[in-house]
Each structure stands twice: as C-alpha cells, then as structure tokens.
C-alpha cells in the first residue's frame, strides 16, 4: 500500500511533470473555478441542459424522503460512493482499497466506489438537475467541500441525519475543530472526510528570506514570481484575513476592500492557478504562492527546502465532507460507512495514503505504531515515510496552527455573484 | 429496393448525405439552437433560468469583454501568419524535395498527434520554465537577465497555439503543392521567368486552395483556444475569449452570457470566413 511512496525519483518526476504531483487529488484536479481543462469542455452540454430544463432549486416536492431524518434503519447492502481521485488508500498493484475491503467484509455492504468528483462546481452541475427535480442522483454518498455543503444545504439538496445516533464514532473520535461547523450546524448533514489548509508555500532559495504573511505576496520585489489561486473563495478569504476581517463575517464593503488589495497586487502576479501552481513552484517559476497543505507535503519529498506557512493574519481550513444527497437510495449504508471511517485505525490507514489532514487525531499514534512495526520488520524506508507523515504539521497541525485557521464563508447566491464578478475583473480583465 | 432506387436515381446523393446530415442536426444544429435559447434567458442557478428574449445580453457582453474578443482575434491572426510562414516552406520541401522520404516526413508532421494535446502543451511549460533547461541555461551563461521569463506572456501563448496548429496547416498545403505538375514550373522558366517569378506566378497561385484551407484550419480554432492561454498564459494580459466563456460557465454559472459570447464568436467567424473566401476567390481570378 505504501509502495508508491518509494517510487524511483524519475518516475516521480515524470508523474509530477504531468500531474503536478501525484497522490493528491487536489494537485490533479481541484479546480472549483476554471475546471480541469479536459473536463471543462465535456461539461458544456449537461450545463446547457441543466440551464434549460431546470426550474428553481427545490421547486419540486422537497420531501423525497419525508423531510425527516435518514438513518436508524437496516443497511440495504449497497453503497454507491462518489469521491475525488486518489482520495482513499489503494494498493498500487491490485488497485484494491484495504479500507473498502474491510468494510465490505464486516458489514456485507458492497461498495461501488467511483472517482467521480473532479471539481465541486462541475460535479454539482451533474447532479443538480436530478436534485432540483426531486429525483435520485444515483449516488448514496458524495464528498463536497464545506462551502458546497453549505450551498447544498441551503438549496435543500442534502439529507439530514442524527449524527449522535447514526455516526457515534464521529462524536467519539473526531477533533473538536470539525464538530458543529459554521457551514453545517450540529453536523446535521455532513461529517468530514479529509481536510487541508490554504496558506502560502515558498522556496527560500528564491525568496531569499523567510515568508510569514500575506503582505509578502504583495511585495513588489517578487514581481512575476507570485502565484495566486483562481478559486475566489481561497484568494479572497486570505485577502480578507489580511485586512483583519474574518471571512465568515465579511460584508460587501469588506469584500470590495479585499478585492482592492488583490487588484493592486495583480501586476505582480504571474498567474491565477488551480492545481498547476504546485508544478510551477516545483520548477522554480514561482518563488512564493498560495498553496494547499497536502500538495506541499508531497512536494517536500522531492524538494525538502520548500516551506508551507499559515499567514500571520490567518489561513483557511477547508474540509471535504461525506454527505448524503437528497433522495439517495441507500442512506443507512452511507451512515454505516461514515461511522466506519471514524475508527482511528481506519482513519490512519487512509491518512497514510492520502496525506491530508485527518479529522481523527487518534490516528497519529496508530501511524507511529505502524512506523515502529515497519522499523522492527527491517523496512526502514516505510518507517521513515510513516514517521514523516505522523510528525508533519501539515497532516497533524498543532493547536497553535489550528487556532489561526478559519472557515470559508458560505455565500448566498447574490454574494457568490458579487465575489465572482469582482474577481473575474482582476484575473481576466 | 434496388428497383425503387433505380427509378429514383436522383435521390441517391441525398441518401449519401443522410448520415452526415443527421450527425450535424444532432450534434451541431440542436446544441446551437439550445445555445441561442440559453443566451436569451435570464436567471440564476438557484432561481432557475427563464426565457425572456433578453437581446440586450449581446451588446452587454461585447462591451464588457471587447478586450478579450480583440485579443483572441489578434492572437489568431498572428498564429495564422506564423503557421503559414513556417508551414509553407515545410510543405513545399516535402512536396518537391521529399523524394522517397515524403511519407516519412509527413508522418513526422503528424507524429505529435499521437500524444494528447494537453500533455504536449504542458511539456511546453517545462521547456519554457524560468529555471528550465532552455531559459535556465541561457541565464546561467549570462545571455539573459535573471528576471526574464517567457511563460505567462503573450509570446508563450502564441508560440503554443502556433505549435499545436502547425500540422493542420502543413497537411492541406502539402496536398495542394503535391498536385502541381513540376513541368508547369519548368515551362515558366523556359519562358524566361526567374525562379522567383515562376514561384509567384505559377506555384503560389496553384497552391492557393491549400493556403485557404490551412489558414482557416489555424485561424478558427486559434480564435477559440483557451487551453494554451490558460496553461502558458494565465494572466489578465493573456486572457482569451475562450477563457472568459469557461469561467462564465463553470465558475459563475452565468450560462446566458457564456452562450451569448459563443454565439457572437461563431457568427463573427462565419462572416469573416465568407469575406475571406470572396477576397481570395477574386484573387484567384485576377492572377
């Protein structure tokens, strides 16, 4: 399962060349905005159809499942699960996931696992027509990012459940940061899958100094070597924090002020990136850039000099969540799975592979135990790798780091339009 | 059936056209009608879109994104000129001097198509990277200033598009040049034309159909390109109209504006092509 971490450096270089890093689904495809280029053109038709045939959200009967809570029943024996690419442990030789196999053996629920989500907006586009028409989307469990969870809740697109009764392991084992989040009070519709930090990454050799704050991204000294994100929520949130405003409290005037900062910065910026920033950072074209923590953790295997910092004024903790779309056929199976992955040993198994922030703090100790076992078994390379995962602040952030992280604001439709149009003027003219 | 067909021989051409026609109706005409309808709708994803015959969207997007429209056309024009300048000598050499290597040379021209478009474009990022083996080396030996870069500039975007569409230009040029009887050129020189005159008055006019096809095959997709602009550009100064459409569709969910831009681009290109065809045909007659 960890063989892929030991790939020859050439193979890694090739993979990185074409994907901008490999194990991370974000490095590949996290494009809330401009979309993965290939997928972008493929979306056009469904998007048009969605635009054509669909009335307002929730126009159909909103009570596909009676409007109450799901859960409490017997699993049906099937779970159709849509997740992001490379976002679960996977044996490189067989392609099997130990986590899924173990779940199937224990519960006799067959998991139909699909790497179907490449991008929040785009995936939402594929299920929105069914949801608006009060029909089953075909998925029992999907993994949207927190702001999308908030948006889907406000549209009435997610099933509610009693988290204490249905997902007791979440209550017992999840870190407090993930409980009762602003985008989903009381975790009534979602529990976290993995999370990560939006902050700043830099190459000290190229910057020639330590980078500590968002103000460094505005320094004319780095003209043409600064990278920013094309995802407005990330970029604008960091600018808001720089201005001393909590993203979740931002009103229109704050957003406009933050956009002014970004507009002034624009001439210094080399580009507004999705995943490709990782590749530009690795190749030395960018000296400093906004970054996602999991990517930097992996880039550090090739270039240990690279550093990731949470800006002094604060960074963003984003969370991808397991949710049940409205009208799902097998909600009890989805809840069984949610409960299963909050066992520390299962969470550890997934984290060892995906290297994002694990919502279960107890998994750290288990990964250390695995490292010890590998060392005892004479496999020093695996032991070193596992130790680096367990000790990394990017996988298990310190309290101090967490205290300086904030959530995205859940935007209303009007706000979303404002943010998008202001930001588009900055990035595209 | 056979007898029936024999009696109505006139129908046969239409029957042959049927599969292609159906294909176009399903995959071109229908989406086009849908697009036109979406362009005239108003609304948001949350409230739904309703058809309001909002014709005002066209002047709105033209005014808002005029810069990106013009930039796309300018880039496409430069790309067409560059592909011609590079492609014509290539096609000429293969057609007249290729000898028994003709097929190998043609294969080499289309060889890049065996790899994905995206991969080829991304490789350009590596070739042109600030610290990559080209710029890095030139900087190390002091030929270039340390801050010099090609990526994220119009030069990179135009080079990328030129590279990607070059084979589309070479192939029709080759076909046109290959058909020319060398004896015509010989005859011209026998009649005291210099080599240059023979080229300008015999070879070039006879290959004009290849120039026409090749330039359209480069210009039209280049004007709508967004991948090169995104991967090799990515700044406000290199944003093409295709990038705007992509953002409007995927990020802003503003389907009407995106559809309106696509329609304007398409109609604009059609008008341009018609004018171009006329001009070129007139040219052909006067030569």
How far is CA B122 from each of CA A19, A102, B109, B126, B129, rounded to the nearest angstrom? 9, 39, 19, 7, 11
Q: What average pLDDT score do residues A99-103 get?
A: 96
- Provide, as residue numbers in chain B, all residues whose Cβ is less than 8 Å from the Cβ of A420: 251-252
Q: Which comes out higher in pLDDT, residue A65 or B39?
A: B39
Closest to A412 in 3D by CA, of B265, B133, B214, B47: B47
Q: Which of B34, B40, B45, B132 to mutate to test the interface with A (most CBs of A within 10 A)?
A: B45
Q: Which comes out higher in pLDDT, residue A10 or B104?
A: B104
Question: How far is B187 from chain A, CA to nearest CA, in Å?
Answer: 52
Q: Is B253 among the domain residues?
A: yes
Closest to A150 in 3D by CA, of A116, A178, A190: A190
Q: Is B8 among the domain residues?
A: no
CA B60/CA B258 separation, integer angstroms: 12
pLDDT over 60 at A4, yes or no:
no
Q: Which of A47, A51, A228 to mutate to test the interface with B (most CBs of B within 10 A)?
A: A51
Q: Please give the pLDDT value at position A25.
A: 39
CA B146/CA B48 separation, integer angstroms: 52
ipTM computed for the complex: 0.82
pLDDT over 60 at A17, yes or no:
no
Q: Which comes out higher in pLDDT, residue A250 or B122?
A: A250
Could you tell me how far CA B124 lies from the centroid of its own chain? 19
Closest to B160 in 3D by CA, of B243, B253, B94, B228: B228
* Two tokens, residue B259: 């559809």
Q: Is B179 among the domain residues?
A: yes
Q: Do B235 and A45 touch (CB under 8 A)?
A: no
Q: Do B152 and A51 touch (CB under 8 A)?
A: no
What pTM, to 2 d.p., does this model score?
0.80
Question: How far is A401 from chain B, CA to nearest CA, in Å?
Answer: 30
pLDDT over 60 at A41, yes or no:
no
Q: Do B38 and A427 touch (CB under 8 A)?
A: no
Q: Please give the pLDDT value at position B130.
A: 84
Question: In terms of DSSP bridges, do strands A315-323 and B41-44 run parallel, antiparallel, or are they unpaired?
Answer: unpaired
- Residue count (chain A): 429
**Which CATH number covers residue B266?**
1.10.3720.10
CB contacts < 8 A, A to B, total 138
Contacts (Cβ under 8 Å, ≥6 apart) of B146 = B139
Q: Please give the pLDDT value at position B1.
A: 64
Q: Do B234 and A413 touch (CB under 8 A)?
A: no
pLDDT digits (tens, 9 = 90+) for A184-219: 999 999 999 999 999 999 999 999 999 999 999 999
The answer to whether the beta carbons of residues A84 and A142 sit under 8 Å apart is: no
Q: Is B11 among the domain residues?
A: no
CA B156/CA B228 separation, integer angstroms: 8
Question: How far is A424 from chain B, CA to nearest CA, in Å?
Answer: 8
Q: Which of A34, A55, A280 is the closest to B251 by Cβ?
A: A34
CATH 3.40.190.10 segments of chain A = 69-189+324-348, 196-317+405-428
> Is any Cβ of chain B less than 8 angstroms from the Cβ of A54?
yes
CA A157/CA B200 separation, integer angstroms: 68
Q: Do A121 and B49 touch (CB under 8 A)?
A: no
CA A130/CA A126 separation, integer angstroms: 8
- Provide, as residue numbers in chain A, all residues whose Cβ is less than 8 Å from the Cβ of B125: 276, 279-280, 283
The listed CATH number (3.40.109.10, 3.40.50.1980, 3.40.190.10, 3.40.640.10) that belongs to domain A196-317+405-428: 3.40.190.10
Q: Do B149 and A56 touch (CB under 8 A)?
A: no
Could you tell me how far CA A56 lies from the centroid of its own chain? 28
Q: Which of A43, A155, A283 is the closest to B132 by Cβ?
A: A283
Closest to A273 in 3D by CA, of A418, A427, A394: A427
CA B46/CA A7 separation, integer angstroms: 46
Q: Which helix (H) or strand (E) holds A322?
A: strand A315-323
**CA within 13 Å, CB half, B154:** 13
CA B32/CA A134 separation, integer angstroms: 29
pLDDT over 60 at A47, yes or no:
no
Q: Do A48 and B46 touch (CB under 8 A)?
A: no
Q: Is B131 among the domain residues?
A: yes
SS3 A365: helix
Q: Do A48 and B38 touch (CB under 8 A)?
A: yes
Q: Do A48 and B259 touch (CB under 8 A)?
A: yes
Q: Is B88 among the domain residues?
A: yes
- Provide, as residue numbers in chain B, all residues whose Cβ is less than 8 Å from the Cβ of A150: none
CA B140/CA B151 separation, integer angstroms: 18
CA B33/CA A296 separation, integer angstroms: 46
Q: Do A429 and B67 touch (CB under 8 A)?
A: yes
Q: Which of B119, B239, B253 is the closest to A428 by Cβ?
A: B239
Q: What average pLDDT score do residues B82-101 get?
A: 95
Q: Do A35 and B246 touch (CB under 8 A)?
A: yes
Question: How far is A141 from chain B, CA to nearest CA, in Å?
Answer: 22
- Provide, as residue numbers in chain B, all residues whose Cβ is less than 8 Å from the Cβ of A51: 38, 41, 49, 255-256
The answer to whether the beta carbons of residues A49 and A308 sit under 8 Å apart is: no
Q: Is B49 among the domain residues?
A: no
> Maximum Cα–Cα distance for chain B, whole Å?
81
Q: Which of B34, B123, B131 is the closest to A285 by Cβ?
A: B131
Q: Which of B131, B231, B259 is the closest to A283 by Cβ?
A: B131
The neighbour count for residue B59, using CB atoms within 10 Å, is 10
The neighbour count for residue B139, using CB atoms within 10 Å, is 17
Question: Residues 131..170 of A with a Cβ closer than 8 Å to B: which?
Answer: 132, 155
- Residue count (chain B): 287
The answer to whether the beta carbons of residues B256 and B49 sit under 8 Å apart is: yes
Q: Which comes out higher in pLDDT, residue A39 or A169?
A: A169
Q: Please give the pLDDT value at position A55.
A: 47
CA A14/CA A296 separation, integer angstroms: 17
Model confidence at A15, pLDDT cuts 50, 70, 90, reads very low
pLDDT over 70 at A302, yes or no:
yes
Q: Which of B48, B122, B151 is the closest to A18 by Cβ?
A: B122
Q: Which of A59, A155, A284 is the closest to B129 by Cβ?
A: A284
> Is any Cβ of chain B less than 8 angstroms from the Cβ of A121?
yes
Q: Which of A122, A416, A424 to mutate to test the interface with B (most CBs of B within 10 A)?
A: A424
Q: Please give the pLDDT value at position B146.
A: 79
pLDDT over 50 at A147, yes or no:
yes
Q: Is B24 among the domain residues?
A: no
Task: Tell me the residue range of the domain where B168 lies.
Answer: 58-279
pLDDT over 60 at A3, yes or no:
no
pLDDT over 70 at A23, yes or no:
no
> Is any Cβ of chain B less than 8 angstroms from the Cβ of A36?
no
Q: Do B250 and A35 touch (CB under 8 A)?
A: yes
Q: Which of A44, A119, A236, A281 to mutate to test the interface with B (most CBs of B within 10 A)?
A: A44
* Two tokens, residue A217: 């991204």
Question: Interior CA angle at A76 toward A70 and A80, to 5°?
Answer: 80
Q: Which comes out higher in pLDDT, residue B10 or A423?
A: A423
- For A110-114, A283-287, A343-347, which range has the lowest pLDDT when averaged over its residues? A283-287
Question: Residues 272..331 of A with a Cβ closer than 8 Å to B: which?
Answer: 272-273, 276, 279-280, 283-285
Q: Which of A31, A262, A285 to mutate to test the interface with B (most CBs of B within 10 A)?
A: A285
- The partner residues of A307 in beta bridges, in order of sequence, read A202
Burial of B166 (0-12, 13-18, 19+ CB in 10 A): buried
Q: Please give the pLDDT value at position A86.
A: 85
Model confidence at A91, pLDDT cuts 50, 70, 90, reads confident
Fold of A69-189+324-348: D-Maltodextrin-Binding Protein; domain 2 (3.40.190)
Q: Which of A38, A280, A413 is the closest to B118 by Cβ?
A: A38
Q: Please give the pLDDT value at position B253.
A: 83
Where does A54-119 have alpha helices with state H? 98-107
| Domains held by chain B: number | 1
């Amino acid at each position: 399962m960890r063989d892929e971490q030991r790939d020859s450096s050439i193979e890694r270089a090739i993979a990185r060349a074409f994907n901008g890093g490999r194990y991370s689904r974000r490095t590949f495809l996290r494009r809330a905005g401009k979309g993965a280029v290939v997928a972008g053109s493929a979306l056009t038709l469904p998007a048009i159809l969605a635009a054509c045939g669909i009335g307002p959200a929730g126009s159909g009967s909103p009570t596909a499942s009676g409007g109450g809570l799901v859960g409490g029943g017997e699993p049906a024996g099937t779970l159709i699960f849509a997740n992001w690419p490379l976002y679960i442990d996977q044996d490189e030789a067989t392609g099997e996931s130990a986590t899924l196999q173990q779940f199937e053996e224990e519960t006799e629920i067959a998991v139909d696992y699909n790497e179907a989500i490449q991008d929040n907006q785009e995936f939402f586009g594929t299920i929105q027509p069914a949801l608006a028409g009060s029909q089953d989307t075909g998925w029992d469990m999907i993994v949207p990012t927190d702001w999308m969870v908030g948006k889907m809740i406000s549209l009435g697109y997610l099933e509610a459940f009693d988290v204490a009764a249905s997902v007791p392991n979440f209550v017992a084992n999840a870190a407090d940061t993930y409980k009762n989040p602003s985008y989903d009070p009381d975790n009534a519709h979602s529990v976290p899958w993995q999370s990560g930090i939006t902050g700043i990454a830099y190459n000290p050799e190229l910057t020639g100094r330590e980078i500590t704050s968002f103000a460094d991204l505005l320094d004319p000294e780095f003209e043409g070597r600064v990278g920013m994100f094309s995802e407005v929520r990330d970029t604008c949130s960091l600018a808001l924090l720089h201005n001393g405003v909590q993203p979740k409290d931002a009103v229109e005037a704050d957003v406009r002020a933050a956009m002014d900062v970004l507009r002034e910065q624009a001439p210094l910026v080399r580009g507004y990136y999705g995943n490709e920033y990782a590749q530009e950072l690795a190749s030395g074209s960018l000296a400093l850039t906004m970054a996602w923590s999991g990517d930097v953790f992996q880039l550090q295997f090739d270039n240990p000099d690279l550093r990731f910092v949470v800006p002094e004024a604060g960074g963003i903790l984003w969370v991808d969540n397991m949710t049940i779309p409205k009208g799902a056929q097998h909600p009890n199976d989805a809840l069984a799975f949610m409960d299963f992955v909050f066992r520390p040993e299962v969470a550890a198994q997934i984290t060892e592979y995906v290297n994002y922030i694990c919502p279960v703090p107890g998994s750290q100790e288990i990964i250390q135990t695995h490292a010890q076992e590998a060392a005892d078994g004479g496999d020093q390379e695996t032991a070193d790798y596992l130790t680096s995962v367990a000790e990394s602040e990017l996988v298990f952030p310190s309290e101090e780091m967490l205290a300086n992280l904030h959530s995205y604001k859940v935007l209303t439709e009007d706000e979303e339009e404002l943010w998008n149009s202001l930001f588009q003027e900055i990035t595209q003219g | 059936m056979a007898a029936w067909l024999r009696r109505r021989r006139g129908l046969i051409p239409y029957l042959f056209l049927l599969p292609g026609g159906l294909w176009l109706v399903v995959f071109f005409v229908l989406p086009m009608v849908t697009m036109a309808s979406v362009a005239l709708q108003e609304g948001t994803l949350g409230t739904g879109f309703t058809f309001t015959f909002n014709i005002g969207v066209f002047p709105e997007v033209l005014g808002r994104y005029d810069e990106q429209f013009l930039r796309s056309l300018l880039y496409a024009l430069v790309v067409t000129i560059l592909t011609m300048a590079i492609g014509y000598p290539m096609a000429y050499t293969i057609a007249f001097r290729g000898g028994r290597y003709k097929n190998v040379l043609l294969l080499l021209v289309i060889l890049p198509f065996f790899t994905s478009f995206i991969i080829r474009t991304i490789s350009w990022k590596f070739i042109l990277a600030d610290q990559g083996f080209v710029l890095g080396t030139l900087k190390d030996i002091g030929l270039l200033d340390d801050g010099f870069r090609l990526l994220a500039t119009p030069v990179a975007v135009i080079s990328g598009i030129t590279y990607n569409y070059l084979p589309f230009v070479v192939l029709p040029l080759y076909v046109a040049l290959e058909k020319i009887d060398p004896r015509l050129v010989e005859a011209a020189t026998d009649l005291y034309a210099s080599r240059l005159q023979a080229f300008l008055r015999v070879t070039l006019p006879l290959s004009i159909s290849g120039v026409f096809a090749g330039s359209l095959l480069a210009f039209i997709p280049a004007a709508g390109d967004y991948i090169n602009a995104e991967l090799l550009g990515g700044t406000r100064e290199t944003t093409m109209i295709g990038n705007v459409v992509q953002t409007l569709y995927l990020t802003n969910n503003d389907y009407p504006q995106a559809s309106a831009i696509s329609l304007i681009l398409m109609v604009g290109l059609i008008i341009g092509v018609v004018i171009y065809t006329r001009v070129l045909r007139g040219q052909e007659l006067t030569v």
